[in-house]
Amino acid sequence: MKQFDYVRPATVTEAVAAAAQPGAVYLAAGTNLLDLMKGGVSRPDRLVDVTHLDGLDQIETLADGSLRIGALVSNADLAHDPGFATSYPAVAEALLSGASAQLRNAATVGGNLLQRTRCAYFYDTASRCNKREAGTGCDARDGENRGHAVLGWSESCIATHPSDFCVPLVALDAVVEIEGRNGRREIALDELHRLPGNTPERESALEPGDLIVALRLPPAARGFSAHARYLKVRERTSYAFAVVSAAAALRIENGKIAEARLALGGVAAKPWRARAAEDVLRGVAPTADAFQEAAWRALADAKPSGDNAFKIELARRIVVRALTLAAAGTPARVPALPASPFASTSGAIHA
């Protein structure tokens, strides 16, 4: 494979300096990057290994009630952290529905946010891809695209963001803490991922050298813990990316929805926050009709990018189901088949 430099900086500052160089990329667990490198999709000159940096693997509750999660916390450790699933059940369920147990043990919080699309044309270096190589064209647009985006896509790119984790996070207004060449800043997770437009090669708001050091869930995120679910339809029961997924979180007071949060996965180049749907749910009773209306609002702007019109109807149904499940109340334990439509099936022992 291509020769590359490997550096292991001692501090975040050193890491940022090393990664700001052209051709440098960060390496955390590498569950995505190494595959990309083996396939020739990504050919970096320099890997900046951040896994040994101190202080990025903590989960801490801040004075204001926020939860701050270090970028190097593994997906498995976060999902199994005492209290995390109780406070943020949809996030835990999403984490445990992703990948496989082995991958979750390795994969990091920061890496999950920055995983690349699973569009087959992005991975196939014999195909044209504007995201992989700007300006070459998009072979997915008229290709095998039943899994591609139905929201926010452009003629340049119809890829989707594959993360499960990001879907409830964006619904809960998670914030990303970034260390860059000009010091520390923070942005809403909803602002991290970009829609493709004419520049699908620019996937995030990060600048060269920017390192995600932590993820923060604001105090209000806990307020949904009694009514929060993640639902993921996929083509096998485990170890598959979402065809469509949804995170639904409700705050119910006196039989009415005081506040609703809704986001969709597998439908766009970013985790898709459905604010219009949230708006129609505010102040109404959690009824099937209200959820249907929310589903229509959530997908109002959707349009097929190929052989994927079914995803729009499926997404509507998933929204209704996720809201229905959330309204019914968070289960006492994370289901044995997290986020699966079959989560309630007795006797399931696999995750």
**Residues at the interface with other proteins (CB under 8 A):** 1-3, 39-40, 100, 118, 120-121, 124-127, 139, 142-144, 146, 233-240, 243, 310, 313-314, 317-318, 320-321, 337, 340-342, 344-345, 348, 350-351
Strand partners, 262: 248
At its nearest, how many Å lie between other proteins and the CB of residue 271? Answer: 20
Q: Which residues pair with 288 in a beta bridge?
A: none
Q: Is the CB of 8 or the CB of 118 nearer to other proteins?
A: 118
Q: For residues 338 and 35, give the distance between their C-alpha atoms in angstroms, rounded to a whole number.
A: 26
Nearer to other proteins among residue 141 and residue 251 (C-beta) = 141
Residue nearer to other proteins on the CB measure, 59 or 240: 240
Residue 140, burial from CB neighbour count under 10 angstroms (0-12, 13-18, 19+): buried
- Least distance between other proteins and beta carbon 299 (Å): 14
Q: Which amino acid is at 165?
A: F
Rounded CA gap, 351 and 341, in Å? 13
CB of 120 to other proteins, least distance (A): 4
Phi-psi map region of 297: left, alpha, beta (phi>0 left; psi -120 to 50 alpha) = alpha
Specify the residue, 254 or 346, whose C-beta has the smaller distance to other proteins: 346
Q: Cβ of residue 163: shortest distance to other proteins, in angstroms?
A: 15
Q: Whose Cβ is closer to other proteins: residue 107's or residue 243's? A: 243
Q: How far is the CB of 2 from other proteins (least distance, A)?
A: 6
DSSP bridge pairs for 65: none
Q: Whole-angstrom Cα distance, residue 100 to residue 180?
A: 32
Q: How far is the CB of 233 from other proteins (least distance, A)?
A: 5
Distance, CA of 96 to CA of 335 (rounded, Å): 10
Judged by CB, which is closer to other proteins: 100, or 198?
A: 100
Residue 126: how many other CB atoms lie within 10 Å: 6
